[in-house]
A and B are shown apart, each in its own frame.
Chain A
Amino acid sequence: MTGPRGRPGALRLRIDSRAEAVRGALAATRAHVAAAVDNGASDADCRPGNGAALPDPDTVELLLAELLNNVVRHACRGRPGHSIEIALRERPDGLLVLIRDDGVPMPGGAPPPGRVHDPDDLPEGGFGWGLIRMLARDIRYARRRGRNRIALVIPPG
């Protein structure tokens, strides 16, 4: 995992398409958001991103996990060797998340609707996009120059 930090309030990471690498990215993201939340709480003048309103680290970690697990499993077909880029940027309306990967396009050219399962059917999967749609807004997907790009905003908690 490489992670040159950009300007304050932003985080950029690049990982390989493996579940263990996703864990590393989540740990780095969580630490970044937790530090930013602490900064904002302790000194209003030093709030990161000039007034950014941040979601709680638990929400960010869960959402990033669902997004990245889907990229690894579907876009990268569960195989290592694909590059996944993660960028976070603090905004007044929440945390902007950008994910890019060089895997296969989303079927139908759009993210799944994220249907809510009937719990009594005891589903063992397919929860991911339902959770993503519950926790994020302004979800956008594009296929550009052979890469997938997902953008969304996690509103403040």
Chain B
Amino acid sequence: MQLDCETIGADLVVRMREARLDAAGAIAFKEAFRACLQGPATRVILDLSSVTFMDSSGLGAVVAVLKAATPARAFALAGLTPAVARVFKLTRMDSVFSIYPDLAAAMAEGRGAASGDGGG
């Protein structure tokens, strides 16, 4: 499971480098994400722009990492491709995440007004 972590200012940016977030990779994804969770960052941004396929096991893994990151930090998603965004929408789980079109938009939001709390 290829996951890159980088602290940028107050943000911990976690970039998924795999094309699939599915039942075969969900556990490895959760473990790799938890290994990233350190340092003083007040917000975690998970960049999923490389993911072209996500099933409901992958969605469950994203919910699990939201729980792992919060409430100590805010949590945001960036770069959902259409197939991934659709799974969030169909399950209505898009309502519990702060979702940005891309990483740049998420970072810009963080520099401006107060960032999302992961619950809006």
Whether B100 sits at the interface, judged by CB under 8 Å, is no
A48-85 vs B: 1/0 string, CB under 8 Å?
00000000001001100110010011000000000000
User: B residues bordering A, Cβ < 8 Å?
Assistant: 20, 22-24, 53, 55-57, 59-61, 63-64, 66-67, 82-83, 86-87, 90-93, 95-96
- A-B pairs, top 10 by smallest CB distance, nearest first, are A19-B24, A127-B56, A124-B60, A65-B55, A69-B23, A125-B60, A119-B96, A58-B83, A124-B63, A119-B92
A65 and B93 alpha carbons, distance in the complex (Å): 19
Chain A residues in 8 Å Cβ range of B56:
66, 69, 125, 127-128, 131
- Partner of B95 from A22, A116, A119 at Cβ < 8 Å: A119
* B119 (CB) vs chain A CBs: closest residue: A120
Please determine whether A66 and B55 come into contact, CB atoms closer than 8 angstroms: yes
12 more A-B residue pairs beyond the given contacts A22-B23, A66-B56, with a C-beta to C-beta distance below 8 A:
A19-B22, A22-B24, A23-B22, A65-B53, A69-B22, A69-B55, A73-B23, A117-B92, A125-B57, A125-B60, A127-B56, A135-B90
30 A-B pairs whose Cβ atoms sit less than 8 Å apart in the complex? A19-B22, A22-B23, A22-B24, A23-B20, A23-B22, A26-B53, A61-B53, A62-B53, A62-B83, A65-B23, A65-B55, A69-B22, A69-B23, A69-B56, A69-B57, A117-B92, A119-B92, A120-B95, A122-B66, A122-B96, A123-B63, A124-B61, A124-B63, A124-B67, A130-B90, A130-B91, A131-B56, A131-B87, A131-B90, A135-B90
Size class of the A contact interface (CB-based, 8 Å): 20 to 34
In terms of DSSP, what is the predominant structure of the interface of chain A? Answer: helix
Does A20 belong to the interface (CB within 8 Å)?
Answer: yes
Chain A residues packing against B (C-beta within 8 Å): 19-20, 22-23, 26, 58, 61-62, 65-66, 69, 72-73, 116-117, 119-120, 122-125, 127-128, 130-131, 134-135
